Structure 1
Amino acid sequence: MSEKSTSSWGAGAATGVGSMPGTDAREAAKTVTGSLEALPYLPELPARGPGADMIGRTAGMLVEVFAHVEPSGWRISDRPGRDTKRARSWLGEDLDALEEFTQGYEGALKVSAVGPWTLAAALELRGGEAALGDAGACRDLAASLAEGLRAHLADVRRRVPGARVVLQLDEPSLPAVLRGQVRTASGYRTYRAVDRAVVEGALRDLVTAARGATDEPVVVHSCAPGVPFALLRRAGVTGVSFDFSLLTEREDDAIGEAVEAGTTLFTGVVPGTDGPLSDPAGSVMGVRTLWRRLGLSPGILAESVVVTPSCGLAGASPAYARAALAHCVRAAKSLADNPE
C-alpha cells in the first residue's frame, strides 16, 4: 500500500453517507456521533425543505454566487435572497448541533458538499438551462465552490479543534455528465458530454484547494452506476464512496488499481431504506468476494474498506437509520476481525 493509504480513521471503520431522516438537527447529530466512534459526520436533513437539500446547502456555501428556488429547481441569482439565507441558517444550526455532541472529540470527522459537476448539472442559469451547458459558468462555479469550501472547512476545524476533517464531494450526476446523459430544460435533448480531461482537472483542482496545507482526506461519493474509479484516482481523491450493489466485473481492473494506489473504498453495502438487515458478516460477504477476485491481500482489506449504507438515509425511518449505522459498525468490525 502507498503512504496515502494510511487513513485518519483506522482499520475496520464505518460511516454514513450524509442525509438522515427527520428535521431535528440535535437528534441527528446525537444519533450519528453516538453510533460512529471512528468516522462520524455532519448530517443533512433534507426533510426540512429547500435549503436543507444537498444542492441548496452547497449553494449556500458558494462565494459571490447566489441561488434561489424556482419550480424547476435551484437557479443562480444576482444577490442573496431568502433561500440562500435559509440554507446558511440551517447549515449553521447543523454545525451548532455537531459541535455540541463532539466536545473533546479527536479523530476523523466527515462533512459533505456537492461536487462541481453535479452542482453544474443541477444549478440553472438565468435562462433556465443548467450551468453544465456553459463552460465558463462551470469554471466560475468550481472556483466559487473552492472558496466556499475553504471557509466551511475552516469553520468546522474551529468548532471541533481535535478533528481531522474529511471532505466528501457528492457527485451522483458525474457518470451522466461524462456520458452526455444530463437532460436540458426541455427534456428533449441532453447536454454534450464533458471531456474527461476537463472533468478530471476540475476535480483535481478542487481536491487540492480543499486540502490546502493540511492535506486532509477528500472522498468522492456517487451512488449512480458507472462510477469512474480510474478518473477519480487520477484526480487525487483519498477515497471513493459508492453503492456496492451497482458494481460490475467490468470495473474490476479500475478498482484493483485504485486500491493498490492507496485509494480507500467506501462500500455501500447496507440498504438505505427500511427493510430486514442480514447478519453483519453477510453484509460484507460481497466485499470479501471482490477482494479474492481481484487477488488483493487480505491483510489490507480492513484498512482499504470503510463500510457505509448504500446511499443517504433520508428516506428511512429514524429507527431504521439508527439500526443501519449500528449495522455498518458491526459489519466493518467483522472485516477487521476476520479479513480472510
Structure 2
Amino acid sequence: MSEQHPYPWPTASSTGVGSWPGEDPDEAVRTVLGELPDLPHLPELPGRGVGADMIGRTAGLLVEFPVEVQPTGWRVADTPGRDLYRAHGFLSRDLDVLTEHAHAYEGALKIQVAGPWTMAASTELRNGQRVIADPGAYRDLCASHLEGVRAHLADVRTRVPGARLLVQIDEPSLPAVLLGALPTASGYGRLRAVDRIRVEETLRTLFTTITDAGAVPVVHCCAGNAPLDLLRRSGARALSLDAGLLDRRHDDMVGTAVEAGVGLLLGVVPAVDPTPSEQARMSDPAANVDVVRELWNRLGFSPDLLSRTVVTTPACGLAGASPHHARAALRAARDGARVLRDEPRRS
C-alpha cells in the first residue's frame, strides 16, 4: 500500500459482508467471484445448519477450547464432538471450493471470522452463563481465538497464495458488551460491562497479529452505536458499517478514521428482499449511494478520495435474502461503487 493509495483494494471496489443464501458453496463462490471482481469474499452459508452459522464456524477455529450445541446455543464442552466435526467439515468444504476456483487469483480477497467479544457473548459456560461473565473464561477464549485466526489465515494463504488478504472481524455484540446490555442466564438481570481498556487491548493484539501475518484487519459492526473510535485505536484498517445508520452524530468519529487512513466498507443496498419502493431505488445506482455522498460532503474531504476510501456493500449479510436478490444486491453495490468514482458529486 502506497502513500498515494493506502488501501488494499482497487478504486471503486465493492464486496459482500459475508453470509449468502442457500447450501451450495460451489455456486456461492462462483457467483461472488463473478459479481465482485475487485474484492471478492469467502461466502458463508448458515442455511446449511449447525456449524455453518457465524458462531459455529468460528468455534471450529478455536484451539483447545471445545464447544457443543445445547438448546440455548453453543456451550463449552469437555471434548470436541459432532457439532465441531460438522463445523470443521463445512469450512473445509468452503476452502476446497475457494482453492478450486481462486487458486490463481491475484488481488484483494476478504475472509470473515466472528470476533472474540461476540464469541464470548454468544458462547455459554457449563452452568449456562455467558463466557463474558467470567474474566478467566473469556481470557482463555480470546487466546484460543487468536491462535485459531492465525492458523486459519495461514491456511487460506496457502490456498490462494497470490491474494492480498483482508480479515473481517465480525463484532455485532461488541456494543452490548461495552454497555453491559447482555442478559444473564436467568434473563432477569444484565451482565456487567467489560472494561473498555481490556476490550481495546484484546482487539489490538488480534489486529496486530493479523497485520504481522501480512493481512489487513477489518471490523464489521452493524449496530448504530458501534464504538468507532475504539476500533480505530485498536488498529482496524477498515470499518464495515451500515451507511443508513450513520448520521451527524458519527461525523467526527468517521472523519477522524478517514484522516488516519482507515477505509470504509459501507452498506448501501438492502440485505433482504426489498419492498417495491426499495426495489425501485435499487435500480438507480446513483440513488443507492446518495447516503455515502451526503456523508462525504458533510465530512469535507476531497471528492477524488471518495472512491478510493469507500467500498460499497449490502447493508448486512445476505443469508436472509432470496438468491435472486442476493445477486442483485452485489450488482447494485458494484454499480454504486462506479458511480462514486465517476460522479462523486451530484449537481
Per the normalisation by structure 1, the TM-score is 0.97
User: Where do 1:30-41 residues align within 5 Å?
Assistant: 30-41=30-41
Residues of 2 paired with 1:49 and 1:288: CA distance? 39
User: Where do 1:76-115 residues align within 5 Å?
Assistant: 76-115=76-115
User: 1:294 and 2:293 equivalent?
Assistant: no
- Aligned position for 2:187: 187
User: 1:8 and 2:13 equivalent?
Assistant: no
- Aligned position for 1:274: 273
Matched-pair contact (CA < 8 Å) for 1:120–1:132: yes
Matched-pair contact (CA < 8 Å) for 1:63–1:148: yes
Matched-pair contact (CA < 8 Å) for 1:4–1:262: no
User: 1:307 and 2:312 equivalent?
Assistant: yes
Matched-pair contact (CA < 8 Å) for 1:4–1:263: no
Residues of 2 paired with 1:180 and 1:248: CA distance? 24
Once the two structures are superposed, residues 231-280 of structure 1 have per-residue CA deviations (whole angstroms, 9 ceiling, x without a partner) of 11100101010111112311110110001101111101110011212411
Once the two structures are superposed, residues 150-178 of structure 1 have per-residue CA deviations (whole angstroms, 9 ceiling, x without a partner) of 11111111011111111000000111111
Shift in Å at residue 41 of structure 1? 0.6
Name the count of aligned residue pairs.
Answer: 339
Residues of 2 paired with 1:298 and 1:94: CA distance? 38
SS at match of 2:239: strand
SS at match of 2:60: helix
SS at match of 1:23: coil
Shift in Å at residue 286 of structure 1? 0.9
Alignment-mate amino acid for residue 310 of structure 1 = A
Shift in Å at residue 5 of structure 1? 6.0
User: Where do 1:190-269 residues align within 5 Å?
Assistant: 190-214=190-214, 216-269=215-268
Residues of 2 paired with 1:265 and 1:226: CA distance? 16
- Aligned position for 1:69: 69
The runs of at least 4 consecutive aligned structure 1 residues that moved more than 4 Å come to: 1-5
Matched-pair contact (CA < 8 Å) for 2:107–2:164: yes
Identity %: 57
* 5+ long unaligned stretches in structure 1: none
Shift in Å at residue 210 of structure 1? 2.0
User: Alpha carbons of 1:85 and 1:44: their partners in 2 closer, same or farther (altered >3 Å)?
Assistant: same
- Aligned position for 1:43: 43
Residues of 1 paired with 2:323 and 2:74: CA distance? 28
Question: Which of 133-142 and 120-129 deviates more?
Answer: 133-142
Residues of 2 paired with 1:157 and 1:18: CA distance? 18
SS at match of 1:325: helix
SS at match of 2:83: helix
Alignment-mate amino acid for residue 181 of structure 2 = Q
Matched-pair contact (CA < 8 Å) for 2:103–2:161: no
Per the normalisation by structure 2, the TM-score is 0.95
- Aligned position for 2:144: 144
Matched-pair contact (CA < 8 Å) for 1:68–1:84: yes
Once the two structures are superposed, residues 102-133 of structure 1 have per-residue CA deviations (whole angstroms, 9 ceiling, x without a partner) of 13210111101100111100010111101111
SS at match of 2:155: helix
Alignment-mate amino acid for residue 200 of structure 2 = E
Residues of 2 paired with 1:20 and 1:148: CA distance? 23
SS at match of 1:208: helix
Shift in Å at residue 39 of structure 1? 0.7
Residues of 2 paired with 1:120 and 1:331: CA distance? 36
- Aligned position for 2:328: 323
Matched-pair contact (CA < 8 Å) for 1:5–1:264: no
Residues of 2 paired with 1:2 and 1:160: CA distance? 23
SS at match of 1:268: strand
Shift in Å at residue 2 of structure 1? 9.1
Shift in Å at residue 3 of structure 1? 4.2
Alignment-mate amino acid for residue 60 of structure 2 = G
Alignment-mate amino acid for residue 37 of structure 2 = E
Matched-pair contact (CA < 8 Å) for 2:222–2:316: yes
- Aligned position for 1:334: 339
